[in-house]
Chain A
Amino acid sequence: QSVLTQPPSVSGAPGQRVTISCTGSSSNIGAGYDVNWYQQLPGTAPKLLIYGNSNRPSGVPDRFSGSKSGTSASLAITGLQADDEADYYCQSYDSSLSLVMFGGGTKLTVL
């Protein structure tokens, strides 16, 4: 069971907007540590999607956005496309465990 909690699955129709939550605690997200997001397409390595809570690496479409508030963070995807179907992971640091943590992952299904 991960310290960072994500919904196991979310779904949406093409063109719609979906959000994926990442809930932590006062020793990780709530302590001010950045949240980063990764996309893992089926059968491939993870790819950095959002870093520093809301920054997109070069090449990541602006349909993807990140935010953070209190002890939670969110990834929003607008204009959903079929090839957005993937697993999404949040990642942060936990000061009580002194460890890098990943969320359990969320499977996005495009209907």
Chain B
Amino acid sequence: EVQLVESGGGLVQPGRSLRLSCTASGFIFGDYALTWVRQAPGKGLEWVGLIKSRPFGGTRESAASVEGRFTISRDDSKGIAYLQMNSLKTEDTAVYYCSRTVVVGATYYFDYWGQGTLVTVSS
């Protein structure tokens, strides 16, 4: 059974850093890209970024709203993806989901999702 479990969320002050983890099981982690998606309270889904698998170069893509502040990485030996969030802003407050990502040419879809972890940025 494919499972994704996010952890590391919590309350953090503006300007500080936080690292989220996404622990995967039930599939060959190294064969898939991983994506982070967030959802602010009462709002829609917002794509944060993704990291491709090594066969696809392990390249990263990210949304303009987090470019230069958030970094996605992965440890294929542990089956874990990370979202390092620096210089956090109040508008980064959201539930953060990780999802297993299927790459189809130049596009992607997200076939399994974790339960999400809440990040609250507030003083």
Q: Which residues of A contact B (CB under 8 A)?
A: 2, 33-34, 36, 38, 40, 44-48, 51-52, 57, 87, 89, 91-93, 95, 97-105
A101/B104 contact (C-beta < 8 A), A45-B113, A45-B116 known: no
Determine which of A45, A51, A95, A104 lies in contact with B44 in the assembled complex, contact meaning CB atoms within 8 Å.
A104
Number of interface residues of B (CB under 8 A): 25
B interface residues (Cβ-Cβ under 8 A, vs A): 35, 37, 44-47, 50, 61, 63-64, 97, 99, 102, 104, 106-116
CB-defined contacts of B46 to chain A, threshold 8 Å: 102
Complex contacts, B45 vs chain A, CB 8 Å: 38, 40, 46, 89, 91, 102, 105
**Quick one: given A101-B47, A102-B46, are A51 and B35 in contact (CB under 8 Å)?**
no
- Tell whether A48 pairs with B114 under 8 Å between CB atoms, given A100-B47, A102-B47: no
Q: Which residues of B contact A104 (CB under 8 A)?
A: 44
Shortest Cβ-Cβ A-B pairs, 4 listed: A105-B44, A36-B109, A100-B47, A45-B113
What residues of chain B lie closer than 8 Å to A97, measured between beta carbons? Answer: 64
Q: Which residues of A contact B63 (CB under 8 A)?
A: 99
Asked, given contacts A45-B116, A47-B113, A48-B111, whether A2 binds B44 with beta carbons under 8 Å apart, the answer is: yes
Q: Assess the A51–B114 pair: CB atoms within 8 A.
A: no
For this complex, 22 residue pairs linking A to B, each with C-beta atoms less than 8 Å apart, are A2-B44, A33-B107, A36-B109, A40-B45, A44-B115, A45-B116, A46-B45, A46-B110, A48-B109, A48-B110, A52-B104, A52-B109, A87-B44, A91-B45, A95-B106, A97-B64, A98-B61, A100-B47, A100-B61, A102-B46, A103-B44, A104-B44
